[in-house]
A and B are shown apart, each in its own frame.
Chain A
Amino acid sequence: MSSHEIIIGLAGVLFTAAPIVFATIGETFTERAGVINLSVNGTILLSAMSSFAVAVSTHSIFWGFVAGIVVGMGVALTVAFSSIALKQSQVAVGFVLTLMTRDLAYFLGNPYMGLQGPRVHNWPIPVLSKIPVLGTLLFNFDPLTYFSFILIIAAWWWIFHTRPGLILRAIGERPAAAYVRGAPVNKLRYLYTALGGALVGLAGPTYSLSVKAGWKGTISGLDGIGWIALALTIFGGWDPVRGAFGAYLFALLQWLGLVLQPYMPNIPSQVLQVAPFPLMILTLLFVNIGNTEWVKRTLAGLPPDARRWATRILRWMQVVPPSALGTTFEEE
Chain B
Amino acid sequence: MSKQLERWGFVLLATLVALIFTSFVLVLAGASPVAAYWYILKGSLGSWTKISDVMVAWVPLLLATAGLLVTFAAGQWNIGVEGQIVLGAIFTTWVMRSLQHTNTPAAIVLILAFIAGAFGGAIWSAFAGILKVYGGVNEIFGGLGLDFVAVALILWLIFGPWKRPGIGSMSGTEPFPHRLWLPTIHGTRLSLWALAIGLVSIGVVYFLLTGTYFGLKLKAVGRNPKAAYLMGIPTTKYLMGAFIISGIFAGLAGAVQVTAVYHRLIPAISSGYGWLGLMVSMLINFQAAWAAPVTFFFAALNIGSIQLPIMLKLDSSLSGVLQGALVLSFLLLEGARRRWVKRREEAKNE
User: Hey, which bits of chain A sit against chain B, CB under 8 A?
Assistant: 38, 82, 85-89, 91-93, 95-97, 99-104, 106-111, 217, 224, 227, 230-231, 234, 266-268, 270-271, 274-275, 277-278, 280-281, 284-285, 288-292, 294
Q: Whole-angstrom distance from the CB of A136 to the nearest CB of chain B?
A: 33
Q: Whole-angstrom distance from the CB of A41 to the nearest CB of chain B?
A: 9
Whether the Cβ atoms of A103 and B149 lie closer than 8 Å is no
User: Which 6 pairs, one residue from A and one from B, show the smallest C-beta to C-beta distance?
Assistant: A86-B335, A100-B324, A103-B320, A277-B148, A281-B145, A288-B136
Whether the Cβ atoms of A274 and B25 lie closer than 8 Å is no
Residues of B within 8 A of A106 (CB): 315, 317, 320
Give the interface size class of chain B: 35 or more
A232 CA to B77 CA in the complex, in Å?
19
Whether the Cβ atoms of A100 and B325 lie closer than 8 Å is yes
A104 CA to B22 CA in the complex, in Å?
10
Residue among A93, A100, A278 with max Cβ neighbours from chain B (10 Å): A100
Q: Whole-angstrom distance from the CB of A302 to the nearest CB of chain B?
A: 18
Smallest Cβ-Cβ distance to B143: which chain A residue: A281
| Contact with A88, one of B131, B137, B323, B335 (Cβ below 8 angstroms) | B335
A276 CA to B10 CA in the complex, in Å?
44
A102 CA to B317 CA in the complex, in Å?
9
B197 within 8 A of A: no
Whether the Cβ atoms of B141 and A280 lie closer than 8 Å is yes
Whether the Cβ atoms of A88 and B152 lie closer than 8 Å is no
Residues of B within 8 A of A82 (CB): 331-332, 335
B297 within 8 A of A: no
Whether the Cβ atoms of A270 and B279 lie closer than 8 Å is no
| Contact with B275, one of A99, A111, A267, A275 (Cβ below 8 angstroms) | A99
B303 within 8 A of A: no
Whether the Cβ atoms of B149 and A288 lie closer than 8 Å is no
Other A-B contacts than A227-B141, A292-B135, 16 sampled, CB-CB below 8 A, are A82-B332, A85-B339, A91-B140, A95-B278, A99-B320, A100-B325, A100-B327, A107-B315, A107-B321, A110-B314, A234-B141, A268-B155, A271-B156, A278-B145, A281-B131, A288-B136
Q: Whole-angstrom distance from the CB of B67 to the nearest CB of chain A?
A: 17
Q: Whole-angstrom distance from the CB of A291 to the nearest CB of chain B?
A: 5
Residues of B within 8 A of A270 (CB): 151-152, 155, 159
Whether the Cβ atoms of B148 and A97 lie closer than 8 Å is no
Q: Whole-angstrom distance from the CB of A235 to the nearest CB of chain B?
A: 10
Residue among B141, B338, B339 with max Cβ neighbours from chain A (10 Å): B141
Given contacts A285-B137, A292-B135, contact A87 B144 (CB under 8 A): no
A87 CA to B332 CA in the complex, in Å?
9
Residues of B within 8 A of A88 (CB): 331-332, 334-335
| Contacts of B218-260 to chain A: CB distance below 8 A | none
Q: State the majority secondary structure of interface residues on A.
A: helix
| Contact with B29, one of A87, A91, A107 (Cβ below 8 angstroms) | A107
User: Hey, which bits of chain B sit against chain A, CB under 8 A?
Assistant: 25, 28-29, 77, 131, 134-138, 140-142, 144-146, 148-149, 151-152, 155-156, 159-160, 168, 275, 278-279, 282, 314-315, 317-321, 323-325, 327-328, 331-332, 334-336, 338-339
Whether the Cβ atoms of A107 and B318 lie closer than 8 Å is yes
- List 18 A-B pairs, Cβ < 8 Å: A82-B332, A82-B335, A86-B335, A87-B338, A87-B339, A93-B331, A96-B327, A96-B331, A100-B320, A100-B321, A100-B324, A111-B29, A270-B159, A274-B148, A274-B152, A285-B135, A285-B136, A290-B136
Residues of A within 8 A of B334 (CB): 88
Whether the Cβ atoms of A96 and B148 lie closer than 8 Å is no
Residues of B within 8 A of A87 (CB): 335, 338-339
A92 CA to B72 CA in the complex, in Å?
12
A104 CA to B21 CA in the complex, in Å?
11
Whether the Cβ atoms of B134 and A294 lie closer than 8 Å is yes
Residue among A100, A107, A234 with max Cβ neighbours from chain B (10 Å): A107
Residues of B within 8 A of A96 (CB): 279, 282, 324, 327-328, 331
A46 CA to B254 CA in the complex, in Å?
30
Smallest Cβ-Cβ distance to B150: which chain A residue: A274
| Contact with A281, one of B141, B318, B321, B336 (Cβ below 8 angstroms) | B141
Residues of A within 8 A of B324 (CB): 96-97, 99-101, 103-104
Residues of B within 8 A of A85 (CB): 335, 339
Q: Whole-angstrom distance from the CB of A96 to the nearest CB of chain B?
A: 5
Given contacts A104-B321, A280-B145, contact A271 B332 (CB under 8 A): no
Smallest Cβ-Cβ distance to B148: which chain A residue: A277
Whether the Cβ atoms of B136 and A92 lie closer than 8 Å is no
Whether the Cβ atoms of A100 and B328 lie closer than 8 Å is yes
Residues of B within 8 A of A267 (CB): 156, 160
Whether the Cβ atoms of A92 and B317 lie closer than 8 Å is no
Whether the Cβ atoms of B134 and A292 lie closer than 8 Å is yes
A108 CA to B336 CA in the complex, in Å?
29
A94 CA to B159 CA in the complex, in Å?
35
Residues of A within 8 A of B318 (CB): 103, 107
Whether the Cβ atoms of A281 and B282 lie closer than 8 Å is no
Smallest Cβ-Cβ distance to B153: which chain A residue: A271
Smallest Cβ-Cβ distance to B309: which chain A residue: A110
Residues of A within 8 A of B279 (CB): 96, 99
Residues of B within 8 A of A230 (CB): 141
A90 CA to B315 CA in the complex, in Å?
29
A231 CA to B145 CA in the complex, in Å?
10
A215 CA to B28 CA in the complex, in Å?
18
Q: Whole-angstrom distance from the CB of B297 to the nearest CB of chain A?
A: 16
A315 CA to B133 CA in the complex, in Å?
20
Whether the Cβ atoms of A277 and B149 lie closer than 8 Å is yes
